[in-house]
Amino acid sequence: VYPISGGSDYALPRQIVEEPKEATAID
């Protein structure tokens, strides 16, 4: 899983969650 900084809600693999918000945070 990819824990996003300041986004505890997004503790899911990017393969399943492809949201712009996550992509930007993971950058």
Q: What local confidence, expressed as pLDDT, does residue 5 receive?
A: 60
Question: Residue 26 has what pLDDT?
Answer: 58
Residues 1-27 have pLDDT tens digits of 555 565 555 555 555 555 666 555 555
Which pTM does this prediction carry? 0.12
pLDDT of residue 16: 56
What are the structural domain ranges in the chain? 1-27
The reported pLDDT for the residue numbered 9 is 55
pLDDT on residue 19: 60
Q: How far is CA 10 from CA 5, 13, 15, 19, in A?
A: 9, 8, 12, 10
Give residue 25's pLDDT: 58
